[in-house]
Structure formats: C-alpha cells, structure tokens
C-alpha cells in the first residue's frame, strides 16, 4: 500500500499538524466557516447571470479562508473586458446580497478590468490599483466564476512574467511588487496612526499577523521558483496561489525541515485568530490607542503572538537552505 495514500488528500496545514501534533483549531474552524459562508452567499445570489469572463472574488480573510466573527466582506468583480464595459453580475445586483461597502478607500465592492489591474508602476498604479491587483492574486477566493477567476489570475501573472525567461530564478519583477506592497502596507499603517484614526491596536496586531501571513504567503512561492524552469513558473505560481496562504507557509516549513518552528509559527497565528474571533477581546483591541496599548493584557498577548509569527518566518527564511541564500540574493536589492 502506498504510505502516502492516507495523507495525499490532506492540506499542507493538516500535514504539518499531523507531523507535530498541533491541531490549529481556530484555523480549521475558520476554514469551515469560510466554506459555509461561501455556500450561503452563493445560495443567496440564486441563479444570477454570470458572464464567462467575469468572476466575483472575495478578498482578505475570505481569501485566506480565515473568516472570524468580525470579518469584513470585501469583494471585487474582475473581468477581462475593456475598462468600464458592462458585465454580469453588476455591482448593484451584488450589493443587494453582499454586505455594503465598509471602507472609505473605495478599493473594494466594485468592478475592475484585468487590463486596469496590470498597469504596473507610475501614476496609474495608485494604492487602490496595487491593492486590488495583489490581493486578487495573493488572497482571494471566487464566489462566482471560478474558471474566470483562474483565467484572470493567469493573465495577471503572465503580465508580471512578460520577458522574464530565466530558469531557476525567482521572477524579480513580481517579487519586487510583492515586497513593495508589503512595505506600502507598513507605511500606510503608520500614516493612518499619525492621522489619529481609531483601532490602532487592532491594526497593529493585524500588521504583525494576518498582513505578515499575506506577505509571506506570496513571498515563499516566488522564492520557490528557484526550483522551477522558466516555462513552468506561471503554472507553478498559479497552483501555489490557489491554496490559502497558511497552506503555502505550512508547505515551506515542511519542505525545509522546520516542522517544529512551523507548528509554533502557525500555532501562534491560530491563537491570534481565536483572539480576534472573541468579540470581547476584539472589541478591547479596537478600543485601544497607541499610548494605552502596552499596558493592556490583550494587546500584550496579541503582540507576543505576532512576534512569534514573525520570528518563525524569519527563522525559515534565514536559517534554512536554500532560502537563506535566496533571501540574500534577491530580497534586499
């Protein structure tokens, strides 16, 4: 009997759990909740018409398959038609079922063309465009139009990889953009803090956990292209990005003989998810400003969990080969 048979269907996170005895209960519950809510949302939309080249994608915690009780409902209609062309389903039709937009940045809950998303750099690639592009690529899940979702991701990846034809090299342009996005998130965090916006402690905790997971979940497959010839890079990345970021990270820990550290890293992240899924503790984080945070037990615990996530990922990147060399070669300059 093939001994791999029993584990072949397991996700990387489940394999890491089986190897180390870590259960990741909050992550498992959040994945189940995401699947359930996706099915509920589909049912609520009924037999809405969906054009073949249109996908409705849910972003953020939906894309990470980590819905908690306080998760937002950020979505995009992504299509491969000219910008501004009418598409089905329309935004108004979706807004009747999906929660109304919460953010003031007008990034989500609208229709956007792939041809707009692949305007790289310069003025047209503003914060909203970059955020839409990279969240769609790194942490989104199709609500409607699964095939179109994959096709749109493929088109975006192809645009990134255009002219990048070297074997066994991480695609430098995509890598730079993912790093740019992560740094933008960090700088915008400080920008919001200086504007005196509320929820400093919750934003800080998320920066050190879910945003860090988003970044690492993009970075690790890109560095993994070190093992891939140029013709296979697009499919390799497309496949990797179809898994939740926590699976991509769990796989990297397993592949680099760092299961213990991986279990602690994702175990800390699991406990953070449980913390923000607790309405009282989430409300506590939402209420704390910068000056009061360090005196608060909930924030101190969230900060510790965030540091454990970061320390684990740093250990993977800097104390395991070949990642250590890849980081040195590609990540600074």
Binding positions for another protein, rule: CB under 8 A: 20-22, 257-258, 260-261, 263-265, 267, 290-291, 293-297, 300-301, 304, 307-308, 311-312, 314-316, 318-320
Closest CB to another protein among residues 239, 319: 319
Cis peptide leading into 89, omega within 30 of 0? Answer: yes
Closest CB to another protein among residues 88, 320: 320
Residue 177: CB minimum distance to another protein, A: 27
Closest CB to another protein among residues 31, 204: 204
Residue 23: CB minimum distance to another protein, A: 10
Residue 315: CB minimum distance to another protein, A: 4
User: Any idea which residue has 């890849």 for tokens?
Assistant: 326
CA distance linking residue 50 with residue 67, whole number of Å: 25
- Residues 6 or more apart whose CB falls under 8 angstroms from that of 269 comprise 27, 209, 213, 246, 305, 309
Residue 186: CB minimum distance to another protein, A: 16
Helix then strand count (H, E) for the chain reads: 16, 4
CA distance linking residue 43 with residue 45, whole number of Å: 5
Residue 296: CB minimum distance to another protein, A: 8
Cα distances from 28 to residues 8, 24, 73, 290, in angstroms, run 18, 6, 20, 32
In what order do the strands lie in the sheet containing 110-113? 110-113, 75-79, 54-59, 140-144
Closest CB to another protein among residues 180, 324: 324
Closest CB to another protein among residues 21, 82: 21
Helices 200-208 and 172-194, axial angle in degrees (round to 10): 160
Closest CB to another protein among residues 28, 155: 28
Closest CB to another protein among residues 91, 193: 193
Angle, CA of 243, 248 and 254, to the nearest 5°: 135
User: Can you give the length of the chain in residues?
Assistant: 333
Residue 323: CB minimum distance to another protein, A: 11
Residue 319: CB minimum distance to another protein, A: 4
Cα distances from 59 to residues 71, 124, 136, 172, 221, in angstroms, run 11, 22, 7, 25, 19
Closest CB to another protein among residues 247, 308: 308
Residue 9: CB minimum distance to another protein, A: 25
How close are the terminal C-alpha atoms of the chain, in Å? Answer: 49
Angle, CA of 109, 113 and 114, to the nearest 5°: 115
């Amino acid at each position: 009997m093939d001994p791999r048979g029993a584990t072949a269907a397991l996700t990387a996170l489940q394999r890491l759990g089986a190897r180390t005895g870590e259960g990741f209960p909050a992550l498992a519950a959040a994945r189940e909740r995401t699947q359930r809510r996706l099915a509920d949302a589909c049912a609520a939309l009924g037999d809405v018409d969906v054009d073949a080249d249109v996908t409705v994608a849910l972003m953020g915690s939906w894309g990470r398959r980590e819905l908690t009780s306080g998760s937002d409902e950020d979505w995009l209609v992504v299509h491969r038609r000219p910008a501004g062309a009418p598409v089905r389903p329309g935004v108004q039709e979706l807004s009747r079922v999906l929660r109304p937009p919460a953010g003031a940045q007008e990034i989500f809950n609208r229709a956007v063309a792939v041809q707009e998303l692949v305007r790289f750099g310069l003025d047209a690639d503003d914060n909203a465009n970059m955020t839409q592009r990279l969240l769609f690529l790194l942490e989104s899940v199709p609500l409607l139009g699964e095939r179109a979702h994959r096709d749109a991701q493929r088109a975006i990846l192809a645009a990134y990889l255009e002219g990048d034809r070297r074997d066994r090299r991480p695609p430098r342009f995509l890598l730079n953009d993912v790093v740019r996005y992560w740094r933008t998130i960090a700088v915008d965090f400080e920008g919001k803090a200086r504007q005196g916006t509320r929820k400093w402690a919750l934003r800080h905790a998320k920066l050190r956990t879910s945003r860090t997971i988003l970044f690492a979940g993009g970075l690790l497959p890109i560095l993994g292209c070190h093992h891939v010839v140029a013709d296979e890079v697009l499919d390799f990345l497309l496949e990797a990005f179809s898994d939740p970021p926590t699976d991509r990270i769990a796989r990297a820990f397993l592949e680099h003989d760092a299961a213990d550290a991986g279990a602690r890293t994702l175990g800390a992240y699991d406990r953070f998810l449980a913390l923000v899924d607790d309405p009282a503790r989430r409300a506590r984080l939402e209420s704390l400003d910068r000056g009061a945070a360090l005196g608060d037990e909930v924030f101190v615990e969230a900060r510790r969990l965030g540091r454990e996530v970061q320390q684990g990922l740093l250990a993977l990147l800097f104390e395991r080969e070949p990642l250590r060399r890849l980081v040195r070669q590609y990540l600074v300059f």
